[in-house]
């Protein structure tokens, strides 16, 4: 069922506004910033996973011509506070390690020099005396009481250990006919955006001000926190918005990168650039992601009715704890998937090890729980002998049950899960593939079908960040987003955004929304980004929120501007402001079609700017409006954290169907087809959304088949280049067929929901099931990603008793 409200520009399939400057190379990225006298930074990184720094000899490096500063952690601590961390636990991280290093790749010395070449030459001249400590690599071993400690002050490597219970889990398990149990393993991956993180910091010792050009993408949200790291008053630090070459969650803060460049600039009084190279990024960017063992259980009745889900989670967070357990609280937004499940229990053990820390990566942990829940559902179908499609359909929340409050307290705003499923089935030709499966098995070829239905929560509300902290110790931050709309004296629109561009389509969204609001062409709208100095509140991109939040902010700002336009027009046309309407780029007296009862937007703009005598008395000149849009449907958690409130309520849904062929001799997997139906409410721009979905699915295929951040038993990072951290390329990704199902949100402007993360959140279980289905004759269960060719060959050999 498709119920698209009638819009003129919302939903129109126009080309992305951002693309020409990206494709022509004119968009300015952080590494494009060149300032007079600018110095370049290289960082010496720890070769050891766990070691005490006994002595650092930098004398030879300091003598190298062209070197300006050689900065150790101890020296940096005089200039810098610790980097921002949002955990309640006392896990302290410095931009440059001071007493000991906690992972291979941790910064130990930073050098500022005339060129990056000289800076790297200087690194060769630094001698460090180390005391090696036993590395803590395996998370289960790290939990043992006698394990070496990553942070001695914590007394344990288990930094967080709590059981969240939502609803009567014990009773639901007690009345279940059966319980499906699986131990499931999701691998450590990393965001690996095309552009690594970086910063140019320029400190003026005369004024005490610092200018920052950095690809951190939550400028207004974190700039004031990073100012504290830099030991500067927040109003004396200005963050300039940069085009960002992808983040996927990896660039939310960048305290270390900005801290290092900022410290070196404060020491030299010169602009200093620090751009990560690929090895810096893969080993030390803090963008590793969920590294989890789940002991997962689904309680259900014999007719296939789901009752309760219990998730015992062991999560390897690495050496620090910047976002605390945000990647696990995220799961609570959609822990029951699209199904009626009565109660949820989540036991979370966050474990520190000698690895680069985990933060968030597209999906932010719900990618993992979707895979876990769909693995359980497929396991239930297998054990009950019920078709997986019918089992899902039997348990779906029904369209008339929305808004639906789930056991954790979050709400699902709207949905039509059977409608999405039916649309996928209508485009998948499953009868054909099932017949092919039978036919090809007789030739020794193995194809499989994977179908999953899963949620894609959107429109992040920051209350999630604080669930784990005991109430009322922490306040609950919120997530405003602002837009300013100005109309010039000749009628052109200027829209100002306070979030950065990070690879998504904020300019396209805002241009289409303004076109919708004012009935003008999107090409009439100029879009720019503003620095924090001039910034209005903005939480920036993240948590699939920007389309919803920008739409609301545009509506609010447009309402203010239109109100003034109507007042001016009414004054000039001698009518009531209430009787004005916008039509075809003009303001009319309602219902009249004679142009003399109308004014163009340009006419009104000119009057507003330069004809004060023609304005209503008491009206100030100018024609602009700003609006800060707050989350339209969020509520705080209760003190006991048994009801978390609405924190991710714009709930998208998707069905993915993957058809694969497995070469059982080599273990190689090939895609024969891939169908993706997404429902993210009203679609703002189909092609931009399709790009998001396809890119997300590519990353989902990556985690299913290729990606894994590996560490050796000594804690060495074994995946520090793209030879060893395997990202999928276009050659590894099938031609994905994307369809949109539309169930508008009742809570948002235009009914939009966020769609930025769904592809990656839904594809992994579909790919997993497709492979498992192909291998049905061998009776193989898949409980671990990535599914490598070798793992398939080994599983088949084991099944054959070889």
Point out which residues bind another protein (CB under 8 A): 42, 115-117, 120-121, 124, 277-279, 665-666, 668, 706, 710, 718-719, 721, 723-724, 726-729, 731-732, 788-790, 793-794
Nearer to another protein, 13 or 790 (CB): 790
Q: What per-residue string of b and e applies to 441-470 under the rule 16 or more CB within 10 Å gives b? A: eeeeebbbbbbbbbbbbbbbbbbbbbbbbe
Residue in 264, 207, 242 with CA at minimum distance from that of residue 33: 242
Question: Omega into 117 within 30° of 0, i.e. cis?
Answer: no
Nearer to another protein, 116 or 611 (CB): 116
Q: How far is the CB of 278 from another protein (least distance, A)?
A: 7
Alpha carbon distance 756, 424 (integer Å): 20
Residue in 311, 44, 81 with CA at minimum distance from that of residue 173: 311
Task: Burial-class residue 152 by CB neighbours within 10 Å (0-12, 13-18, 19+).
Answer: exposed
If phi over 0 gives left and psi between -120 and 50 gives alpha, with beta otherwise, what is residue 420? alpha
Alpha carbon distance 562, 566 (integer Å): 6
Q: 599 and 606 in contact (C-beta within 8 Å)? A: no
- Sign of the CA dihedral 587, 591, 595, 598? negative
Nearer to another protein, 79 or 792 (CB): 792
Nearer to another protein, 274 or 321 (CB): 274
Nearer to another protein, 534 or 665 (CB): 665
Q: 70 and 111 in contact (C-beta within 8 Å)? A: yes
Q: How far is the CB of 43 from another protein (least distance, A)?
A: 12
Nearer to another protein, 239 or 725 (CB): 725
Nearer to another protein, 276 or 286 (CB): 276
Nearer to another protein, 40 or 266 (CB): 40
Nearer to another protein, 384 or 726 (CB): 726
First-to-last CA distance in the chain?
51
Nearer to another protein, 621 or 721 (CB): 721
**β-strand partners of 294:** 184, 313
Nearer to another protein, 7 or 778 (CB): 778
Cβ neighbors of 749 (< 8 A, separation 6 or more) are: 513, 548, 551, 552, 554, 555
Nearer to another protein, 62 or 668 (CB): 668
CA dihedral 283, 289, 294, 296 (to 10 degrees): -170
Q: Which strand (E) or helix (H) includes residue 526?
A: strand 525-529
Nearer to another protein, 229 or 716 (CB): 716
Q: How far is the CB of 269 from another protein (least distance, A)?
A: 25
Owner of token pair 């200005």: 238
Q: How far is the CB of 434 from another protein (least distance, A)?
A: 28
Owner of token pair 């440059």: 96
Q: How far is the CB of 118 from another protein (least distance, A)?
A: 9
Alpha carbon distance 286, 210 (integer Å): 24
Q: How far is the CB of 797 from another protein (least distance, A)?
A: 8
Question: Omega into 302 within 30° of 0, i.e. cis?
Answer: no
Alpha carbon distance 656, 378 (integer Å): 14
Nearer to another protein, 521 or 732 (CB): 732
If phi over 0 gives left and psi between -120 and 50 gives alpha, with beta otherwise, what is residue 429? left
* 3-class secondary-structure state, position 66: coil
CB atoms within 10 A of CB 593: 9
Owner of token pair 């945000």: 326
User: What's the Cα-to-Cα distance from 668 to each of 24, 246, 522, 595, 675, rounded to whole Å?
Assistant: 38, 30, 47, 68, 21
Q: How far is the CB of 117 from another protein (least distance, A)?
A: 4
What is the Cα gyration radius of the chain? 28
Which tokens belong to 255?
Answer: 């305290």
Q: 662 and 792 in contact (C-beta within 8 Å)? A: yes
Q: How far is the CB of 116 from another protein (least distance, A)?
A: 5
């Amino acid at each position: 069922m498709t119920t698209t409200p009638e819009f003129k520009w919302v939903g129109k399939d126009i080309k992305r506004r951002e693309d020409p400057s990206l494709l022509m190379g004119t968009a300015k990225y952080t590494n494009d910033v060149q300032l007079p006298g600018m110095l370049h930074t290289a960082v010496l990184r720890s070769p050891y996973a766990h070691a005490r720094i006994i002595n650092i000899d930098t004398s030879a490096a300091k003598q190298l011509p062209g070197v300006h500063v050689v900065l150790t952690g101890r020296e940096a601590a005089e200039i810098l506070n610790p980097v921002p961390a949002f955990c309640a636990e006392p896990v302290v991280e410095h931009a440059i390690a001071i007493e000991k290093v906690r992972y291979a790749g941790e910064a130990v010395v930073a050098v500022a020099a005339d060129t990056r070449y000289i800076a790297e030459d200087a690194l060769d001249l630094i001698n460090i005396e180390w005391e090696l400590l036993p590395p803590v690599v395996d998370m289960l071993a790290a939990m043992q009481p006698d394990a070496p400690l990553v942070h001695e002050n914590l007394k344990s490597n288990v930094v967080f250990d709590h059981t969240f219970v939502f609803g009567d889990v014990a009773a639901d398990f007690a009345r279940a006919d059966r319980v499906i149990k699986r131990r499931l393993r999701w691998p450590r991956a990393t965001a690996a955006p095309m552009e690594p993180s970086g910063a140019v910091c320029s400190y003026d010792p005369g004024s005490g001000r610092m200018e920052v050009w950095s690809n951190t993408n939550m400028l207004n949200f974190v700039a004031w926190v990073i100012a504290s790291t830099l030991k500067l008053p927040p109003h004396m630090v200005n963050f300039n918005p940069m085009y960002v070459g992808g983040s996927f969650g990896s660039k939310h803060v960048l305290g270390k990168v900005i801290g290092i460049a900022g410290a070196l600039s404060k020491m030299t009084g010169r602009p200093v650039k620090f751009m990560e190279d690929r090895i810096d990024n893969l080993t030390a960017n803090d963008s590793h992601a969920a590294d989890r063992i789940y002991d997962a259980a689904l309680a259900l009745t014999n007719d296939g009715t789901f009752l309760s889900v219990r998730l015992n989670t062991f999560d390897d967070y690495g050496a620090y704890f910047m976002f605390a357990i945000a990647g696990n609280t995220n799961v609570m937004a959609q822990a029951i998937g699209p199904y009626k499940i009565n109660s949820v229990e989540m036991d979370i053990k966050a474990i520190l090890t000698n690895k680069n820390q985990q933060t968030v990566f597209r999906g932010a942990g719900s990618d993992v729980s979707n895979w876990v829940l769909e693995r359980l559902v497929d396991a239930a179908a297998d054990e009950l002998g019920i078709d997986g499609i019918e089992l899902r359909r039997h348990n779906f929340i029904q369209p008339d049950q929305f808004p639906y409050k789930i056991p954790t307290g979050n709400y699902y705003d709207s949905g039509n899960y059977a409608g999405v499923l039916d649309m996928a089935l209508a485009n998948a030709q499953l009868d054909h593939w099932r017949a092919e499966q039978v036919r090809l098995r007789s030739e020794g070829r193995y194809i499989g079908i994977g179908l999953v239905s899963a949620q894609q929560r959107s429109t992040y509300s920051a209350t999630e960040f604080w669930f784990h902290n005991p109430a009322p110790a922490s306040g609950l931050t919120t997530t405003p987003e602002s837009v300013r709309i100005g109309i010039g004296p000749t009628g052109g629109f200027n829209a100002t955004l306070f979030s950065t561009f990070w690879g998504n389509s904020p300019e396209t969204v805002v241009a289409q929304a303004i076109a919708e609001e004012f009935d003008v062409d999107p090409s009439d709208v100029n879009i720019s980004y503003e620095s924090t100095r001039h910034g209005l509140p903005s939480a920036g991109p993240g948590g699939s929120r920007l389309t919803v939040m920008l739409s609301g902010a545009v509506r609010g700002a447009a309402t203010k501007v239109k109100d003034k336009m109507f007042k001016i027009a009414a004054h000039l046309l001698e009518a009531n402001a209430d009787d004005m309407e916008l039509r075809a780029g003009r303001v009319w007296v309602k219902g009249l079609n004679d142009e003399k009862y109308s004014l163009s937007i340009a006419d009104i703009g000119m009057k507003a700017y330069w004809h004060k005598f023609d304005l209503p008395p008491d009206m100030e000149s100018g024609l602009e409006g700003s609006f800060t849009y707050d989350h339209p449907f969020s509520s705080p958690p209760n003190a006991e954290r048994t009801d978390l409130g609405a924190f991710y309520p714009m709930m998208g849904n998707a069905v993915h169907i993957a058809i694969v062929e497995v070469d059982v001799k080599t273990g190689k997997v090939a895609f024969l087809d891939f169908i993706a139906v997404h429902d993210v409410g009203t679609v703002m721009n189909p092609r931009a959304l399709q790009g998001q979905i396809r890119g997300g699915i590519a990353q989902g295929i990556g985690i299913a088949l290729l990606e894994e951040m590996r560490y050796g038993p000594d804690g060495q990072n074994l995946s520090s280049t793209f030879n060893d951290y395997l990202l999928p390329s276009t050659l590894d990704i099938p031609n994905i067929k994307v369809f949109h199902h539309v169930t508008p949100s009742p809570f948002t402007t235009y009914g939009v929901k966020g769609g930025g993360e769904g592809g990656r959140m839904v594809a992994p279980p579909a790919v997993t099931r497709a492979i498992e289905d192909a291998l049905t004759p061998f009776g193989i269960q898949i409980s671990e990603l990535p599914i490598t060719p070798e793992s398939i060959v080994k599983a088949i050999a084991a099944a054959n008793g070889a």
